[in-house]
C-alpha cells in the first residue's frame, strides 16, 4: 500500500511540475508576444513618422520647385519635345513652329520682353529607372516662328553647344521650354585650340561683334567667332551670377 501511495505522490508531483512548467511557458509566450507587439508598434510608429517626414520634405521640395519654376518662367507655360534640324546663320536664335507663338501669346509672354528658351537633351532611363537624366542644356533666343510643326531649327552655335560633347549620335528629339533669364553681368570665355597668340587679331572687337548676334550665354556653350575665312571657337567657362543668363553688355577685362 505504501508503494502505491508513493507512486501516486510521484505521479502527482510530476503532473504538478508539468502544469507549472506549462504555466511558465504560457506566461513567457505571452510576455514575448507583448514584447513583439510593442516592438511592432514602435516600428510602425517609426515608419509612420518617417513617412510623415518624407511627405513634409516632398511638399517642401514641390513648393520650392514651384517657386523656382515661377521664377524661371514668369508663369508662362511652354514645354515641348521637338525634332531638331540644322539652320544656317550666326548667333543663338532658334526657329520654332507657329504653334509656339500661338501658345505664348494668350499668356502675355510678349510683356516679359525678349523671348528666351531653355533647350536640353536627356539620356533615357535604364531598366532600373525610366526617368531621363539631363546630359546637356543650353539657352537661346528665337529668330522666327516658321518651322514645321513638331520641329525646332538649331543654328550651328546651339547645335554645337548641345551635341558637341556627345559620343553617340544626337537624339531624335530635344526639349524646349520658355524661361526668363537674368541680365548678365560677367562671363569668362576661353579659346579652343592653338594659334590665338600668334595672330595680330583684335580679339576684343571680334568677340564683341560675335556677341551682338547672341541673346543668351550658358556655361559650356561653344561660340564661333569669324575672321575673314577663318572661324575661331571659344567656350563659355563661367557666367555670373547664374549658370545661364541673358547676353552681357559687350565689355573686356
CA distance 85 to 26: 79
pLDDT at position 101, please? Answer: 95
State yes or no: pLDDT of 253 exceeds 50: no
What's the length of the chain?
A: 253
Give tens-digit pLDDT for 76-113.
Answer: 999 999 999 999 988 899 999 999 999 999 998 888 88
pLDDT at position 248, please? Answer: 47
Give the residue-averaged pLDDT of 171-186.
Answer: 87
Q: Where are the strands (E) in 79-208, listed by range?
A: 79-86, 93-97, 116-123, 133-147, 151-154, 174-179, 186-192
> What residues contact residue 188 under an 8 Å CB cut-off, 6+ apart?
236, 237, 238, 239
Give tens-digit pLDDT for 41-62.
Answer: 999 999 999 999 999 889 888 8
pLDDT band at 230 (very low <50, low <70, confident <90, very high): confident
Task: With CA atoms as reference, report the closest residue to 248 among 203, 204, 220, 214.
Answer: 214
State yes or no: pLDDT of 243 exceeds 70: no
pLDDT at position 82, please? Answer: 96
Q: What are phi and psi of 223, to 5 degrees?
A: -115, 140
DSSP string, 29-82: HHHHHHHHHHHHHHHHHHHHHHHHHHHHHHHHHHHHHHHHHHHHHTT---EEEE
CB 177 within 8 A of CB 117: yes
State yes or no: pLDDT of 242 exceeds 70: no
pLDDT at position 125, please? Answer: 40
pLDDT at position 241, please? Answer: 58
pLDDT band at 203 (very low <50, low <70, confident <90, very high): confident
State the pTM of this model: 0.69
- CB atoms closer than 10 angstroms to residue 135: 14
Give tens-digit pLDDT for 144-177.
Answer: 999 999 999 999 999 999 987 666 677 899 999 9
Top pLDDT among 84 and 7 is at 84
DSSP letter (8 states) at residue 183: B
Give the residue-averaged pLDDT of 125-138.
Answer: 56
Top pLDDT among 206 and 84 is at 84
Q: What are phi and psi of 244, to 5 degrees?
A: -145, 145
Element (H, E) at 11: helix 2-73
State yes or no: pLDDT of 39 exceeds 60: yes
Give the residue-averaged pLDDT of 223-249.
Answer: 72
Amino acid at each position: 500500500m505504501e508503494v502505491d501511495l508513493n507512486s501516486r505522490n510521484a505521479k502527482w508531483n510530476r503532473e504538478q511540475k508539468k502544469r507549472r512548467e506549462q504555466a511558465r511557458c504560457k506566461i513567457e509566450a505571452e510576455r514575448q508576444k507583448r514584447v513583439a507587439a510593442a516592438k511592432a508598434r514602435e516600428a510602425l510608429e517609426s515608419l509612420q513618422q518617417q513617412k510623415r517626414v518624407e511627405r513634409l520634405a516632398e511638399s517642401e521640395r514641390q513648393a520650392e520647385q514651384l517657386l523656382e519654376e515661377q521664377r524661371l518662367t514668369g508663369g508662362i507655360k511652354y514645354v515641348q519635345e521637338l525634332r531638331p534640324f540644322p539652320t544656317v546663320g550666326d548667333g543663338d536664335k532658334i526657329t520654332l513652329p507657329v504653334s509656339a507663338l500661338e501658345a505664348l501669346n494668350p499668356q502675355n509672354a510678349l510683356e516679359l520682353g525678349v523671348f528666351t528658351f531653355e533647350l536640353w537633351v536627356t539620356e533615357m532611363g535604364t531598366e532600373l529607372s525610366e526617368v531621363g537624366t539631363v546630359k546637356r542644356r543650353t539657352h537661346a533666343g528665337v529668330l522666327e516662328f516658321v518651322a514645321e510643326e513638331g520641329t525646332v531649327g538649331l543654328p550651328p552655335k546651339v547645335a554645337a553647344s548641345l551635341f558637341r560633347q556627345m559620343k553617340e549620335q544626337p537624339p531624335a528629339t530635344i526639349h524646349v521650354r520658355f524661361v526668363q533669364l537674368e541680365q548678365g553681368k560677367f562671363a569668362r570665355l576661353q579659346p579652343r585650340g592653338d594659334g590665338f597668340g600668334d595672330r595680330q587679331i583684335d580679339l576684343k572687337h571680334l568677340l564683341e561683334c560675335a556677341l551682338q548676334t547672341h541673346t543668351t550665354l550658358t556655361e559650356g556653350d561653344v561660340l564661333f567667332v569669324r575672321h575673314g575665312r577663318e572661324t575661331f571657337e571659344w567656350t563659355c567657362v563661367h557666367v555670373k551670377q547664374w549658370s545661364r543668363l541673358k547676353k552681357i553688355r559687350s565689355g573686356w577685362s
